[in-house]
Amino acid sequence: MKIKISGLADLDEAARKLLNYAAEEKVFIFEGDMGAGKTTFIKSVANALGVKDLVSSPTFSIVNEYDAFGQPVYHFDFYRIKTLQEAYDIGYEEYFYSGNFCFIEWPQKVAELLPYSYIKTEIAIVSESERELLITKI
Ligand SMILES: Nc1ncnc2c1ncn2[C@@H]1O[C@H](COP(=O)(O)OP(=O)(O)O)[C@@H](O)[C@H]1O
Ligand SMILES: [Mg+2]
């Protein structure tokens, strides 16, 4: 599925489309250059699930946990990890296989550890405010 984003105001609707498309899938990876809008889009997706917490890039902690009506939502940013050991150290399996929503930035850093199936969102920058989302089931 392809979604054209003209500006920030389009992200909430795109988030709902992503969640509908995903159906029962709980693991989502987000690819795109620095500044493409991965964190910004994840904020919309988390809000669509009912997350009221501040959603921001967990660059220093690797994973942030939010609350969606009593259910945890996990948000990862693997940009800074140097070895897979750092993913083992945070106990990535407990999160990825928890059955709770997982949103993963910089999944390329943990490609070997991703589950068998997940939803991939590729974000391409079209202009300062425009983006194109390419969403696929893996
Ligand atoms: N349509 C859009 N979608 C997402 N971000 C946008 C859009 N238009 C402008 N931006 C801006 O681009 C920046 C994206 O930053 P961020 O979400 O942190 O990117 P990433 O997590 O991919 O590095 C933010 O400053 C955001 O406000
Ligand atoms: Mg980010």
- Of 6, 40, 64, the one to substitute when testing ligand 1's pocket (max ligand atoms within 8 A of C-beta) is 40
Sheet hosting strand 119-125, strand order edge to edge: 2-5, 131-137, 119-125, 27-31, 101-105, 71-77, 63-68
pLDDT per residue rounded down to tens, the chain (138 residues): 999 999 999 999 999 999 999 999 999 999 999 999 999 999 999 999 999 988 898 767 899 999 999 999 999 999 999 999 999 999 999 999 999 999 999 999 999 999 999 999 999 999 999 999 999 999
CA–centroid distance, 98 to ligand 1, in Å, is: 28
Distance from the Cα of residue 80 to its chain's centroid: 16
CA–centroid distance, 86 to ligand 2, in Å, is: 18
> pTM for this structure?
0.96
Residue type, 117: S
User: Rounded to the nearest 10 degrees, what angle do helices 38-48 and 11-22 cross at?
Assistant: 70
For ligand 2, a single-atom ion, which residues have Cβ within 5 Å?
38-39, 57, 105
> What's the CA angle centered on 10, arms 8 and 15, to 5 degrees?
105
